[in-house]
Amino acid sequence: MSELSNFGEVFAETLPVDLRKTFDPNADAAAIWDMVLATHVYVLDPPMFVRLGDKKLISREAFNGLYNPIVNAIPSTDENPMGRYKDMAAKYAISTAALKRASRAVYEPGGSEWMGTTFNMWSGPSIEPLQERPTIIIDHFRYLFPDKRERQLVFEWLKWGMQHPDKKMTFALLIIGRFGTGKSWFSKLMQVIYGPSNVLVLPKGETALEKFNAEHANKRLVFVDELVPNEKTGSLADALAPKIVGNNIWIERKGVDRFELPNRFNVMAVSNHEAAIKIAGRNDRKWLIVRTTDDLYGADANGRPTAETVAYYDRLHALTPPDGSITDEVRRFVWWLQSRPIGDFNGQGVAPETFAKDDVAAATESSIETEVNDLYAAKAGPFRFQLMTIKDVLAEVTDDGTKKAEAECAAAMTAVGCRRIGNKQVYLTGRKKPRRLWCRDRDKLTEFEKMAPTELAELYKAERRNAPADDTPDEPGDFPAAA
């Protein structure tokens, strides 16, 4: 056994499967070095090495640390004096034409490995679809998501991602519900069907505020396992938002120049908490929110697990074994996701509304947001009219006249669909200072922006002139009995 045999055995584990079968771990240094060159690509912009076996980015320093022992062990000759490359594996690799070059690296799911001189960092999952119905997984969905529409939306979200690997969804999926029903199992399922190298799993309790950096390079899915509320819930939503809808991301990696990549993230999260995130009202565009069952499968009358419960979840987790092997049921599910029609679901549109989203909005909104939402839905108070001011609405929803309350009211109005009418200020009856007007319906904004301030002021007053009293009931649905 050579002194490099241990290195050769470790190096063999990084090789693609086809090369691993033919590689001799006991080979001499020159033969191992030839294999190093054959299994790496040097990217010019930004300068870095890429290991083909797992598409891992390697800095010059890391490359030296990995392969200096091999370069140092290659015998020197008159034609190839190796002394000048001692402890400089990266320099030696770059000096030879045997190392493949790429002008730049990209991450294009579904694309070929080489696109001209551009190298694609994407590696697809090695799954051969099985054309049979995935009964076990579908039955789990039926149990987990009792609301038929929300269950169908989860299916559509998964199908859209599977059938459009070259596209990014513009809204995230959040699954909320009680502990222990099988939500976190989705992290295992997604790693299998997307491929482990394409999925980043943030562990339980992670706030996700500091995690979006180098480890997010070359990922199709970010799975947040147990999204938890905290005093910075609003900041958490802000941190996730650009990953959901942004076009590009910046990657910073030790030893590699900061570089920009197209944003390919799809975001999926699970939580036991109703207030895990703060969303921008019930019409939030960035989150599809669904609810799971409240009942543990097979539990007894007191809600405690039984032998049936244990058997059910054992079978579920056996579909995604720890060794990463692909089971027939997963192969069935991949075929099902790839072949089933999607209908009118648009993964690059606006997140569909659900009852679960209503619940999350209600759990996280302030009293001002709640009042604005309810008044707007009922077209009551100032929302009876097309034009209004912030002061009109604020006087209806709170006694707080501070700038903070005014800003919160403006944000709530924007969330429900109201819009500021440019920067025009109008003088209204009884007001010493001019006020900015808002319109109730966003589709009227262009029309109002074309009007002069005097016209807007007259329309504002005309709407209120001889207007009937606002007799809308305080509580939705609490209408007077018919005469």
What is the pLDDT confidence band of residue 251, given thresholds at 50, 70 and 90? low
Give the range among 112-121, 215-224, 336-345, 436-445 with minimum mean pLDDT: 215-224
Same domain? 47 vs 111 = yes
Same domain? 384 vs 336 = no
Same domain? 77 vs 145 = no
Same domain? 369 vs 342 = no
Domain count, the chain: 3
Span 366-376, mean pLDDT?
85
Same domain? 71 vs 145 = no
Question: Residue 466 has what pLDDT?
Answer: 77
Give the range among 20-24, 102-106, 235-239, 337-341 with minimum mean pLDDT: 235-239
Span 280-291, mean pLDDT?
81
| Alpha helices in 195-296, H assignment, sequence order | 233-245
Same domain? 19 vs 85 = yes
Same domain? 43 vs 176 = no
What is the pLDDT confidence band of residue 259, given thresholds at 50, 70 and 90? low
Q: Is the pLDDT reported for residue 209 higher than 60?
A: no
Question: Residue 470 has what pLDDT?
Answer: 67
Report the DSSP beta bridge partners of residue 249: 261
| Alpha helices in 274-366, H assignment, sequence order | 307-318, 328-339, 355-364
Q: Is residue 223 part of a domain?
A: yes
Q: Is residue 130 part of a domain?
A: no
Q: Specify whether the CB–CB gap between 415 and 371 falls below 8 A.
A: no
What pLDDT digit, counting tens, does each position of 290-335 carry? 999 999 999 998 889 999 999 999 999 999 999 889 999 999 999 9
Question: Residue 145 has what pLDDT?
Answer: 96
Same domain? 139 vs 274 = yes
Q: Is residue 176 part of a domain?
A: yes
Question: Residue 132 has what pLDDT?
Answer: 97
Q: Is residue 469 part of a domain?
A: no
Q: Is residue 481 part of a domain?
A: no
Q: What is the largest CA-CA distance in the chain?
A: 109
CATH, residue 435: 1.10.10
Q: Is residue 127 part of a domain?
A: no
Between 395 and 78, the higher pLDDT residue: 395
Same domain? 156 vs 264 = yes
Question: Residue 41 has what pLDDT?
Answer: 96
Give the pairing type, strands 114-115 and 248-253. unpaired
Give the pairing type, strands 435-439 and 419-426. antiparallel
Q: Is residue 470 part of a domain?
A: no
pTM higher than the cut 0.75: no
Same domain? 416 vs 459 = yes
Q: Is the pLDDT reported for residue 231 higher than 60?
A: no
CATH, residue 299: 3.40.50.300
| Residue 338 dihedral angles phi and psi, to the nearest 5° | -75, -25
Give the pairing type, strands 435-439 and 387-388. antiparallel
What is the rounded distance in angstroms from the CA atom of residue 99 to the CA atom of residue 181?
A: 50
What is the rounded distance in angstroms from the CA atom of residue 154 to the CA atom of residue 317?
A: 20
What pLDDT digit, counting tens, does each position of 27-70 carry? 888 888 999 999 999 999 888 899 988 888 888 999 999 999 99
Helix axes 185-194, 328-339, angle to 10 degrees: 70
What is the pLDDT confidence band of residue 79, given thresholds at 50, 70 and 90? confident
Same domain? 254 vs 305 = yes
Q: pLDDT exceeding 90 applies to what percent of the chain?
A: 42
Give the pairing type, strands 118-120 and 100-106. parallel
Q: Is residue 472 part of a domain?
A: no
CB neighbourhood size of 349 (10 A): 12
Range of the domain at 93: 5-120
C-alpha angle 39-45-194 in degrees, rounded to nearest 5: 60
> Sheet of 419-426: strands edge to edge?
387-388, 435-439, 419-426
